[in-house]
Amino acid sequence: MEKIVYNDQGLFHPGHVACGGCAEALSLRVILNTMGKNTIGVVSPSCTAVICGGYPMTSTSIPIFHTTLETAAAAAAGVRQALEARGEGDTQVLCLAGDGGTYDIGLQALSSAAERNEDILYVCFDNEGYMNTGGQKSSSTPTGARTGSTPTGKTTHKKNLVEILAAHRIPYIATASPSDLNDLRTKVERARDMRGMRVIIVLIPCLPGWGIADDSAVATARLAVETGLWPMVEIFDGRDWRLTHRRGTRSVAEYLKGQKRYNHLQTDDIEALGREVDEGWELLNARLGQGPAGGSGNPQHRAAANTG
Amino acid sequence: MKDQATNQRLQLLSGNHAVAMGVMLARPDVAPVYPITPQTPILEKLTELHGQGRLGARMLTPESEHSVMATCISASLTGARVFTATSSQGLMLMHELLHYAAGARAPIVMFNVNRTPASPWGFWPDQLDSLSQRDTGWIQLYSESPQESLDLVIQAFRIAEQVELPVMVNHDAFYVSHAMEPVDVPEQAEIDDFLPPFHKDLRLDVATGRAFGAPADQATWNRTRRDMARAMGRVPALFSDIGSQWHALTGRASGPLETYRTKDADRVFIVLGSLAGTARQAVDDLRDKGIRAGLIKLRLLRPLPGELLRDLLCGHDDVLVLDRDYAPGMGGILHQEIAAALYGAPDAPRLHGFLTGVGGVNVPVRRLVELAEGIGTGDPSFESVWVD
Amino acid sequence: MDDLPSPLWTYLTSDNRLTGTWRSALPRHRDVPSPCRGACPVDGHIAEWIGQIRDGDMHKAWLTLVANNPFPAVIGRVCHHPCQSVCNRSELDETVSIRSLERHVGDHAIAQGWRLPAPGPATGRKVAIVGGGPAGLSAAWQLMRRGHAVTLFEASDAPGGLLRSGIPSYRLDKAVLDAEIARITQYGLDLRCGERISGRAGLEKLRKDFDAVYLATGASRPRHLPGLAPDSALARDGLAMDGAEFLRQTNAGETPPLGRHVVVIGGGSAAMDVARSARRLGHDVTILALEAEETLPAQRDEVIEAREEGISLVTGARVRAIEPAVTPRVAGLTLVCEKVRFIPGARRGEFTVEALADSAFDIDADAIVTAIGQDADPGIWDGLITADGALASTGDSWQTDLPGVFAGGDLASMDRFVSAAIGMGKEAAEAIDTYLNKAADHEAVNAPEVRFDEINTAYHPPAPRQIQENRPVEERLDSFIEVQLPLAAEQALAEAERCFSCGTCIYCDNCYVYCPDMAVIRLERGYEIRTDYCKGCGLCVAECPTGAVRMMAEVQ
């Protein structure tokens, strides 16, 4: 059995107020401790903001700037620029935002920071909806999922943020899952050691939002990977695409059946979702085949930072 | 020293370029800016100075004023001296973050070029854009001229950093922003003495790990506003003091307000911004006609220097408030402000509100003379009066 | 108000908030029994020692093994491995080859010459053991390691019992047996071979001379069929023989003088042993068994191997009469047989048969060997201990109704497996230890066994089972060389990797790394739950690869 390893330096503190069994808190633990103490966090309103905060307490050993919902990337850029101006360029800036703050209201600021190749690591905790406000639809909510604002199931597709980001040709993009913490750690390490705009999107099965048991967030994320619903990729410079986990072969239905948000789906809905996953993989496979070296470029690649 | 040096240092500058020169002298660390008419010459002059190596700030151009302000706040809290500039729509797009900046006690200095808010589209001098932001917690200063814009933008950093509140300095579109006049540009060394390097105790610091802005309970939020109130309360006296220092350095007056021939005046104009020049001429013309007129030019609108205004205005017969703005349903915003300051004061003057130059229309000196002459002895109208 | 801390900047960490109050259940690390352990007659800590193989610590694995069974090399060859039948892994792909792994460790220990760990401090108590078979030797080892002085009386000239006289060398190399017995005798055992303890007086003397007595004399009385007993005419003529005697002779290197075609009657392991031994001595062999093939009491592997070796099986049949051969031969017999239906009885060893109509058939033979089981003889002490049929009567802790006298093995149980005898010896030793007024140190296992659905199979990818190869048939029949070949070292390691370690902490850190609340602390060896912070979500339980963490309801 491969041992899960990350160096817990105690940068994430107990006593935070995440739901018991929260995969976002779990991922945060790995990410913070992998980034290390010389990091400043920028957090937009999200479960992470709640988890980190609660004045007068903070649950992180790194300083956190709580910003507004739509400004995560812009605020992170401000920290970055100030650090550079102060001669503290070796301090990392870690942006933590939800999918609402990333796919929706924060997309404009994110796109701008990406275009400017700001030297920040942007992590999106993608729980596929506005879960911190009680579970409403975001543009990351998948087809068919029921939320507080799509009571009969969402009728449109989940936004393909990876494609959008890749179009910005930023140095590094990755998707990750709390079901593979070694992979998450590796991706954070790789991103940490690069410069320029880096984005990691972590799938976060939300216990109340998805209607899953307290102990099942990791298992649900694992199923998302193993059914092919959540492709695990790394993209260098927007062109060099790689898979970090082969396409899973378990049935999409198996993934859906464990979640209350899908329990209204009929057989043909499930089949349609299966086709959507297949189409996603067709596109992804095409990308994998068209990198500079057939999708096997140099992972050690370092992109130059925007030095302003 | 200023007298000898002045002539060598005079440069023919537009108001916007004067702002940029002032910003250069203030040595900001970070300057995110988004272009908007009629602010763009500030941006372009800054980038030009940056390109010449004369401005050391890290400049960036995010995709919107909203992101600009977000960048300003976090940069400021990281310990950087921050400057930005905007106008009208841009300022109003920032609205949410103006509150955020002030709540964060981020000593940002922003220059706003007062311009009509759409709709309809217009690019004319009107102060509604900044006046409608007066509850956001920003200190607001108003400039009459390119020279004053340079002077105020430098002083603004002193004020902001001492009370830890953001400062918005305003001047009128075109009348000031694009009008050119000889401007005295101080030496860098003088400004370095006047404005020490920025230091912030509480900041985003990996050594302490303290977090900013974590969700707070009601009592804590309440406390943040009481703290801001105390900081605001310090500003008039502080600005007076800084203004005196500026006067000592440059020979040019500054401070919360300027009085002109008010000592024995029966009728006193109060104005913000470029209208002060017109009003000053009107005062002289009225005096020539034997009417004892005076003028108060308000540089500090937020916090409103209420006590100063009471001391100055009570005892005069009539006060004429000139608003280059219009708050629908209520009238002139400055009018409301002055009324509030004077309410209940013994000896309070009669207060006359006039909507002059709304939308940037021209206000001739003659018209102001007529207004002062035409004041009757009856009770003035509760609302501001439109002036044609 | 000025001296209050800033309302904007945090000045405490969340450690001050004790989220443990949210919890309604608390995870507990505990060694939960694995199904294999539950099925193991010696209560072997199988998951633990396989984990130690996986960790590369063979010595530790061996110590874990011998704590319950001093014969890993023997049992690794001959055990009927009930553990493998209940292995949770079989629900994922295939069972783990536990017996092969045990042999791997046992052989390694012999090769390395490892000695048993030092005994505990001497108690001054003396125990007599009667019978040097697996039950007696197991009890001897367990008593000695607890500090008691043991004298073992073995009637024959060498200890081992059935292991020596019953199991052929092609299944259990005598050198292996000798090595594992030698370890026990060298441990300080007072071994008295050739001393038979019988009669009332014999047992009474032991009771007087010792603080406790353990009787493990085995089952040495063969059952006979009419006309085939040792005193029958056929036996006298050398045409019939008892299976136990046949095996005793062949195990001693003698060759019983039987004709070419031998029919072995019986369906158990002993019958297979007789048949396959006879085959190695050049006989044509037919096995005749009452049971249908799928219910033969012999192990399935033995039946398959017997067939491979060219032995004919006639199952579901019995002999009705034995007549001189119709066709004249040198010494020919004809077995008049019929097909039957075998109906097992309520107790092990009990059964009834029904003849099938018109199913008569004949088998020709030169000799008949009967191997239909053996009974114990609790009467040899002249009724001093109470018997229940052919078994000594014992209570829960293997105590007879005679104070201080315990009985076990085949003498007291119909569980006629070597591993069962070893387990009984261990249990009796623990009972004697308790009887000798020493606090019992044997653990009681109460928790339910780990179920397959408690294993997180994400951490156990499918992997092919490593199978112990057999020597090719053509190499087997010339001699009594061992049929089973050992696992190669890399095979053993790969097989150890396959073990789920059900219910056994493997110190993988999953509970620690997966806790979103930093509520699991890693200790030098093991983990501790920080009750101040644990919210009771159960993620550590869900992601435990072995089912070693369980949620326990908690009243706060």
The domain C126-220+376-435 is placed in CATH, from the list 3.90.1150.10, 3.40.50.2300, 3.50.50.60, 1.10.10.60, at 3.50.50.60
| Amino acid at residue number B358 | V
What average pLDDT does the structure give for chain B? 96
Q: How confident is the model at residue B94 (pLDDT cuts 50, 70, 90)?
A: very high
Residues of chain B within CATH 3.40.50.920 domain(s) are: 257-386
Q: Which CATH class is domain C223-373?
A: alpha beta
**pLDDT band (50, 70, 90) for residue C363:** very high
pLDDT digits (tens, 9 = 90+) for C58-96: 999 999 999 999 999 999 999 999 999 999 999 999 999
Identify which of B130, B36, B94, B107 has the alpha carbon closest to the alpha carbon of residue A68: B94
pTM: 0.90
CA–CA gap between residue C337 and residue C329 (Å, rounded): 20
By the 8 A CB rule, do C148 and C436 touch?
yes
**Angle, CA of A87, A90 and A91, to the nearest 5°:** 95
What is the enclosing helix (H) or strand (E) of C320?
strand C317-324
Count contacts between A and B (CB, < 8 Å). 159
Q: CA gyration radius for chain C?
A: 28
Residue of B nearest to C9 (CA): B212
Chain A residues lying within 8 Å of B61, measured CB to CB: 116
Looking at the predicted structure, is the pLDDT value of residue C440 above 70?
Answer: no
Write down the pLDDT at residue B44.
Answer: 97
pLDDT in tens, C102-137: 999 999 999 999 999 988 899 999 999 999 999 999
Place of tokens 């040792």: C230
For residue C18, what pLDDT is reported?
97
Q: Among the CATH numbers 1.10.260, 1.20.1300, 1.10.150, 1.10.1060, which is that of C35-116+448-498? A: 1.10.1060
A289 vs C475, higher pLDDT:
C475
- Cβ–Cβ gap B223/C9 under 8 Å: no
Q: Find out whether B262 and B292 touch, Cβ atoms under 8 Å.
A: no
ipTM over 0.90: yes
Give the number of domains in chain A. 1
pLDDT in tens, B63-93: 999 999 999 999 999 999 999 999 999 999 9
Please, which pLDDT band fits residue C31 given cuts at 50, 70 and 90? confident
CB C131, CB C409: distance < 8 Å:
yes
Cβ pair C8:B221 closer than 8 A? no
Count interface pairs A-C at CB distance under 8 A: 121
H-helix or E-strand containing C426?
Answer: helix C418-435
Residue C442 DSSP one-character state? P
pLDDT at C323: 85
| Tokens 């045990």 found at | C102
Give the H or E element holding residue C193.
strand C190-193
- The answer to whether residue B13 scores a pLDDT higher than 60 is yes
Closest-CA residue of A relative to C12 is: A57
Q: How far apart are CA A138 and CA A154, in angstroms?
A: 10
Question: Band of the pLDDT at C550, cuts 50, 70, 90?
Answer: very high
- CB distance from C528 to chain A under 8 Å? no
Average pLDDT over residues B172-198: 97
**Residues of chain C neighbouring A219 (CB-CB closer than 8 A):** 456, 458, 542
In 3D space, the residue among C484, C493, C488, C415 whose CA is nearest the CA of residue C176 turns out to be: C484
The angle, 0 to 180 degrees and rounded to 10, between the axes of the packed helices A181-192 and A23-35 is 40
Determine whether domain C18-30+506-553 maps to CATH 3.30.70.20.
yes
Task: Tell me the residue range of the domain where A119 lies.
Answer: 23-289
Looking at residue A308, what is its pLDDT?
33
A40/B75 touch (CB, cutoff 8 Å), yes or no: no
In this structure, what token pair is assigned to residue B181? 């006049």
Q: What's the CATH fold of domain B257-386? A: Rossmann fold (3.40.50)
Please give, rounded to a whole number of angstroms, the shortest distance from the CA of A274 to a CA of chain C.
23
CB A44 within 8 A of CB A106: yes
- Report how far residue B139's alpha carbon sits from residue B156's, in angstroms, rounded to the nearest whole number: 9
pLDDT, tens digit (0-9, with 9 covering 90-100), for C43-66: 999 999 999 999 999 999 999 999
Where does CATH 3.40.50.970 sit in chain B? 2-250
Distance separating alpha carbons of residues C70 and C74, to the nearest angstrom: 9
CATH 3.40.50.620 fits B2-250, yes or no: no
Among B175, B367, B365, B357, residue whose Cα is nearest residue B281? B365
What is the chain B residue with the closest CA to A84? B58
pLDDT over 90 percentage in chain B: 95
**Closest chain B C-alpha to C89 CA, distance in angstroms:** 48
What per-residue confidence (pLDDT) applies to C131? 96
Higher pLDDT, B7 or B294: B294
pLDDT average, residue stretch B234-239: 98
Are residues A57 and B214, on separate chains, in Cβ contact within 8 Å? Answer: yes
* pLDDT tens for chain A, residues 1 to 308: 889 999 999 999 999 999 999 999 999 999 999 999 999 999 999 999 999 989 999 999 999 999 999 999 999 999 999 999 999 999 999 999 999 999 999 999 999 999 999 999 999 999 999 999 999 999 999 999 999 999 999 999 999 999 999 999 999 999 999 999 999 999 999 999 999 999 999 999 999 999 999 999 999 999 999 999 999 999 999 999 999 999 988 999 999 999 999 999 999 999 999 999 999 999 999 999 865 544 343 444 433 333 33
Place of tokens 């060498």: C158
pLDDT digits 0-9 by tens, B110-168: 999 999 999 999 999 999 999 999 999 999 999 999 999 999 999 999 999 999 999 99
- Same fold flag, C126-220+376-435 and C223-373: yes
The single-letter code of the amino acid at C522 is R
Q: Where are the domains of chain C?
A: 18-30+506-553, 35-116+448-498, 126-220+376-435, 223-373
CB A141 within 8 A of CB A147: yes
Q: Mean of the pLDDT values across residues C418-432?
A: 96
For residue A104, the domain's CATH number is 3.40.50.970
**B19-29 average pLDDT score:** 98
Residue A24 with chain C: CB contacts under 8 Å: 516
- Whether residue C516 and residue A57 make contact (CB cut-off 8 A), yes or no, is no
Q: pLDDT tens digits, residue range B111-122? A: 999 999 999 999
- Cβ within 8 Å, pair C533-A218: no
Chains contacting C (3+ CB pairs below 8 angstroms): A, B
pLDDT attached to residue A299: 41
